[in-house]
């Protein structure tokens, strides 16, 4: 977007806010629009927050998905949509619509060429051969039946990048034809412009404001046992120019509302799946200068990375390894790094992760409280468990960068004593890393330990700057919340307050964060230590030994 176009739209956005809508400090705005006008809405939101608006809700029309809903859906739609509308009516939100009748480009006095350029910028022009590869990597049948294992009449919620739109429409149609319940789709537009505008420009006190309908939505997600799908593919450095303290503050405010609701009832199936985009490949495929060629290469590799068509057999192998781990009943898992040449310990990583007597190793396939099997992460290469949060000690160095809130944290080094992080270091974005760890209850203690080896992600020799991928390249640990399914006896407790008490009694972490970072690789050896002190070699040279 050139400066002239920006200035024209910026001028009209301010006129609209101040003269037509007559906004006042602390008000909210509800925007309904066709997707062609997203570039203008970005500028509108930025100006709105700069002028003291508290909340701007942007609803982008989805005619293709609406048509599928009208054609196939027989079940009641989501009630939270009506509650959301009622909420904005109740608080007296200003409302504005952008469409062909109320065209903000015309009112900004743009010429036709300028307008067409903006319309075309909303949807990437992806070549047919690249689309075919992306389609192959995003197997809607496998996602529906194997990953999510959607049940008859079960509702679904999807949060995806706009670039995934074609594949999401394919999935929605397949889901409706196969008997799903209602499907709610939310597209995070390129670069998350509306959310970023709030983070950058809203007043400090409004960053932590959580609209009431968020709680309504999550209550319905839990009560109706909604399956959730999250195709990955955002920009790993998309939030690099946002104050990290504002990011953390907003996340904590939302978690304070959402987490108690999630813990109040049985959580249903969910899946995060790798689905590359032009944004996600820019950094991980820097060696390919043409972005569409990079996307094609990424889509080709995604087929192998996601083990498309072979997930079921792969999951069975990982589960077999997890069962072996459980037979040993390890007291500790020990990670230590060695010098590449001498093969002697180099002191960079010498970490002992203490396990609870109730700790269980799991892999690939999870189960809901209702006994429905599903896969939460795709790709999935890990055999993971929830340790005793009080028993970790030693030092650890990350072997890959961590993408945290749209920022890269590199050169991570931590020291643990009695389960807690006592020293925090990073070569890049250390302040963000410290803020993230120390500002969440028990965010400085472990909630996960995961073993990974012989991964096709590792074999690409790429860093993806995406935790979903990078954590499945090699061994990792996670600060924060643990997994209930990895604690023996936890899922049998149907009273959720009693389940939380049980987790607490066994020193299992219940933080508001869960942050994985990678600590394995060719020069990291992993061994299990049994109660009698004897050791079992688990991973060496990035290969499973047992």
pLDDT band at 227 (very low <50, low <70, confident <90, very high): very high
pTM, full prediction: 0.89
Question: What pLDDT score does 405 carry?
Answer: 81
Cβ-based neighbours of 440, under 8 Å, separated by 6 or more: 252, 480, 511, 512, 513
Residue-level pLDDT at 350: 98
Question: For residue 246, what pLDDT is reported?
Answer: 94
489-524 pLDDT tens trace = 998 898 888 998 999 999 999 998 999 999 999 999
Average pLDDT over residues 19-39: 97
> Which residue, chain included where needed, has tokens 């340790």?
387
Work out the pLDDT band at 168, boundaries 50, 70, 90.
Answer: very high
Mean pLDDT, residues 192-209 = 96
DSSP string, 326-382: HHHT-SEEEEEEE-TTT-SEEEEEEEEEEPPTTB--EESEEE-TT--EEESEES---
pLDDT at 309: 83
Predicted local confidence at residue 59, as pLDDT:
97
Give me the phi and psi of 77, to 5 degrees please.
-75, 180
pLDDT for 308 beyond 90? no
Helix or strand or coil: residue 388?
coil
Report pLDDT for 199: 97
If one compares 281 and 370, the residue with the highest pLDDT of the two is 281
- Tens of pLDDT, residue by residue over 131-167, are 999 999 999 999 999 999 999 999 999 999 999 999 9
HSE of 259, CA atoms in CB hemisphere, 13 A: 14
Q: Give 20's contacts (C-beta < 8 A, 6+ positions apart).
A: none
For residue 481, is pLDDT > 80?
yes
**What pLDDT score was predicted for residue 401?**
92
Q: List Cβ neighbours of 209 (8 Å cut-off, separation of 6 or more).
A: 54, 55, 253
**pLDDT digits 0-9 by tens, 75-115:** 889 999 999 999 999 999 999 999 999 999 999 999 999 99
> What are the φ and ψ backbone dihedral angles of 82, each rounded to 5 degrees?
-70, -40
DSSP per residue, 213-246: HHHHHHHHHHHTT-EEEEEE---TTTTTTS-HHH
Question: What average pLDDT does range 354-369 have in this prediction?
Answer: 94
Chain mean pLDDT for the chain: 95
Amino acid 216: pLDDT: 96
The runs of H, that is alpha helices, within 306-387 are 311-328
Confidence of residue 1 (pLDDT cuts 50, 70, 90): confident
Does an H or E element contain 143, and which?
A: none
The pLDDT, as a whole number, for residue 267 is 84
SS3 content of the chain, % helix, strand, coil (to 5): 40, 25, 35
Phi-psi region of 3 (alpha: psi -120 to 50; beta: other; left: phi over 0): alpha
Spatial separation of the C-alpha atoms in residues 216 and 218, rounded to whole Å: 6
Give the pLDDT band (50/70/90) at residue 406.
Answer: confident
Give strand pairing partners of 335: 351, 526
Q: Which two tokens stand for residue 153?
A: 């009449």
Contact 20, 98 (CB under 8 A): no
State yes or no: pLDDT of 265 exceeds 90: no
Contact (Cβ atoms closer than 8 angstroms) between residue 172 and residue 65: yes
Which residues 6+ apart lie within 8 Å of 405 measured at CB?
239, 242, 244, 247, 248, 251, 432, 436
Write the pLDDT tens digit of every residue in 430-443: 999 999 999 889 99
How many whole angstroms separate alpha carbon 208 and alpha carbon 347? 41
pLDDT band at residue 321, thresholds of 50, 70 and 90? Answer: very high
**What percent of the chain has pLDDT above 70?**
100
Give, to the nearest 10 degrees, the angle between helix 38-50 and helix 193-201. Answer: 20
Confidence of residue 32 (pLDDT cuts 50, 70, 90): very high
Nearest residue to 375 (alpha-carbon basis) of 155, 144, 179: 144
pLDDT of residue 468: 85
Q: Which two tokens stand for residue 517?
A: 């970072």
What the chain holds in terms of domains, given with CATH numbers, is 3-122+139-274 (3.40.1830.10), 311-544 (no CATH)
Residue with tokens 């303290």: 245
pLDDT at position 416 is 98
Query: What are the φ and ψ backbone dihedral angles of 201, each rounded to 5 degrees?
Result: -120, -15
> b/e map of 41-61 (b: 16 or more CB within 10 Å)?
bbbbbbbbbebebbbbbbebe
């Amino acid at each position: 977007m050139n400066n002239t176009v920006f200035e024209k739209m910026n001028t009209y956005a301010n006129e609209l806010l101040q003269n037509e809508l007559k906004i006042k400090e602390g008000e909210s705005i509800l925007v309904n629009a066709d997707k062609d006008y997203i570039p203008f809405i970005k500028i509108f939101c930025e100006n709105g927050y700069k002028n003291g608006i508290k909340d701007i809700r942007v609803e982008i029309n989805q005619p293709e998905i609406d048509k599928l809903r009208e054609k196939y859906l027989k079940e009641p739609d989501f009630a939270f949509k009506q509650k959301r509308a009622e909420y904005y009516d109740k608080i007296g939100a200003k409302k504005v619509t952008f469409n062909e009748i109320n065209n903000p480009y015309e009112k900004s006095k743009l010429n036709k060429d300028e307008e067409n350029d903006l319309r075309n910028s909303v949807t990437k022009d992806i070549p047919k051969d690249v689309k075919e590869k992306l389609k192959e990597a995003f197997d809607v049948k496998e996602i529906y039946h194997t990953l999510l294992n959607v049940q008859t009449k079960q509702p679904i919620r999807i949060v995806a990048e706009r670039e995934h739109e074609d594949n999401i429409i394919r999935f929605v149609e397949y889901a409706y034809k196969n008997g799903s319940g209602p499907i709610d789709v939310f597209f995070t537009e390129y670069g998350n412009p509306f959310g970023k505008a709030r983070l950058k420009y809203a007043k400090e006190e409004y960053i932590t404001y959580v609209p009431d309908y968020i709680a309504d939505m999550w209550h319905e997600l839990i009560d109706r046992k909604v399956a959730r799908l999250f195709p990955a593919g955002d920009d790993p450095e998309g939030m690099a120019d946002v104050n990290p303290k504002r990011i953390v503050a907003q996340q904590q405010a939302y978690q304070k509302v959402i987490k108690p609701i999630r813990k109040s009832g049985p959580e249903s199936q969910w899946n995060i799946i790798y689905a590359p985009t032009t944004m996600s490949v820019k950094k991980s495929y820097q060696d390919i200068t043409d972005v569409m060629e990079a996307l094609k290469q990424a889509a080709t590799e995604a087929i192998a990375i996601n083990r498309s068509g072979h997930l079921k057999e792969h999951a069975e192998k990982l589960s077999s390894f997890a069962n072996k781990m459980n037979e040993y009943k390890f007291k500790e898992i020990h990670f230590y790094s060695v010098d590449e040449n001498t093969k002697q310990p180099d002191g960079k990583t010498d970490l002992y992760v203490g396990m609870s007597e109730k700790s269980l190793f799991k892999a690939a396939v999870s189960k809901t409280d209702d006994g429905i099997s599903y896969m939460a992460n795709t790709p999935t290469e890990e055999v993971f468990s929830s340790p005793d949060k009080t028993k970790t000690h030693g030092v650890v160095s990350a072997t890959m960068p961590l993408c945290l809130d749209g920022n890269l944290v590199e050169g991570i080094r931590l020291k643990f004593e009695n389960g807690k992080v006592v020293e925090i270091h990073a070569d890049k974005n250390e302040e963000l890393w410290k803020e993230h760890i120390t500002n969440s209850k028990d965010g400085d203690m472990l909630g996960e330990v995961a073993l990974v080896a012989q991964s096709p992600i590792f074999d690409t020799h790429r860093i993806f700057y995406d935790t979903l991928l990078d954590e499945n390249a090699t061994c990792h640990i996670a600060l924060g919340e643990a997994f209930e399914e990895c604690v023996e006896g936890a899922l049998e407790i149907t009273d959720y307050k009693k389940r939380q008490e049980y987790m607490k009694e066994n020193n299992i972490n219940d933080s508001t964060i869960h942050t994985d970072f990678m600590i394995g690789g060719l020069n990291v050896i992993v061994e299990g230590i049994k109660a009698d002190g004897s050791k079992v070699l688990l991973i060496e040279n990035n290969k499973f030994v047992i």
